[in-house]
């Protein structure tokens, strides 16, 4: 069959549109997330961390360093400038080292997932601390020190990183469910459509085929294309 049972073109179109919009949003905000992820992670995939991350990250640091984000002067502005300079250096150094690591892997014919978001630098550091620390430090800078620029960027970077992990986990889970459903349909299509067994006997597969459709026509619906009465599998021969 060209499409699985229960497929709805309108629903599929809406789903594809939603996924496309989310993909665009993710591509826009991922560079912000990696600004703090580079502190805790290394060996990011080349499509997860690329030139786009560097350009957007540098622009974000420059914009949020601007005095526009704070009314403070003196020591607070100095702290802001120090954070910005260190952050820019850290981003550029990470970009260089990560690229060298990618080139090294290709040279040794080692494969690495291009969307990998990095492996922990500090194995003993719990993930919850890794995700919560930028958010906590950002809030501290904003609420206590009034450094709203760099503090806000830290905060949003941590929040967006959490959003990305949840988004990627959902995508992977959806792909896993698609694989399971595809296997179920492959194994139970004949029983659900031709024999019209209940879901309890078809691993939950429900075939919405009108009762007036004859068994011969139902058999044709599940029969692989190209088969003729002469070369049907033995179990389908009449």
pLDDT digits (tens, 9 = 90+) for 150-188: 999 999 999 999 999 998 898 889 889 999 988 888 888
Cα radius of gyration (the chain)? 27
Q: Are 115 and 48 in contact (CB under 8 A)?
A: yes
Q: Give residue for tokens 């194994």.
A: 187
The end-to-end CA distance of the chain, in Å, is 21
User: Does residue 5 carry a pLDDT above 70?
Assistant: no
pTM: 0.73
Of 155, 162, 130, which is closest to residue 141 (Cα–Cα)? 155
Secondary structure letter of residue 96 according to DSSP: H
Q: Which is higher by pLDDT, 238 or 135?
A: 135
How many CA atoms lie within 13 Å of 78's alpha carbon, on the beta-carbon side? 2
Q: What is the pLDDT of residue 225?
A: 46
pLDDT digits (tens, 9 = 90+) for 26-61: 888 999 999 999 999 999 999 999 999 999 999 999
State the alpha helices, DSSP H only, in 43-147: 51-65, 75-107, 127-140
Q: Which is higher by pLDDT, 163 or 24?
A: 163
Residues near 146 by beta carbon (within 8 Å), at least 6 away in sequence: 70, 71, 72, 76
Residue 89: C-alpha distances to residues 54, 92, 94, 159 (Å): 11, 5, 8, 23
Q: What is the pLDDT of residue 191?
A: 83
Q: Which of 16-25, 171-180, 217-226 has the highest mean pLDDT?
A: 171-180
């Amino acid at each position: 069959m060209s499409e699985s049972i229960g497929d709805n073109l309108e629903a599929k179109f809406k789903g594809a549109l939603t996924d496309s919009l989310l993909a665009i949003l993710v591509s826009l905000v991922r560079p912000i997330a990696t600004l703090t992820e580079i502190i805790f992670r290394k060996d990011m995939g080349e499509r997860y961390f690329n030139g786009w991350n560097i350009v957007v990250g540098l622009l974000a640091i420059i914009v949020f360093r601007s005095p526009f984000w704070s009314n403070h002067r003196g020591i607070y502005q100095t702290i802001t400038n120090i954070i910005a300079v260190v952050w820019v250096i850290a981003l550029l150094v990470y970009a260089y080292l990560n690229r060298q690591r990618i080139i090294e892997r290709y040279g040794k014919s080692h494969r690495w997932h291009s969307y990998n978001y990095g492996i922990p630098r500090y194995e003993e550091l719990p993930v919850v601390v890794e995700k919560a620390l930028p958010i906590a430090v950002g809030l501290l800078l904003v609420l206590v020190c009034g450094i709203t620029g760099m503090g806000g960027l830290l905060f949003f970077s941590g929040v967006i990183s959490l959003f990305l992990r949840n988004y990627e986990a959902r995508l992977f889970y959806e792909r896993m469910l698609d694989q399971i459903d595809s296997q179920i349909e492959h194994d139970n299509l004949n029983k659900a459509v031709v024999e019209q067994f209940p879901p309890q006997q078809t691993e939950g597969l429900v075939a919405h085929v009108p009762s007036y459709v004859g068994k011969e026509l139902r058999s044709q619906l599940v029969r692989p294309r190209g088969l003729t009465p002469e070369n049907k599998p033995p179990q389908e021969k009449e």
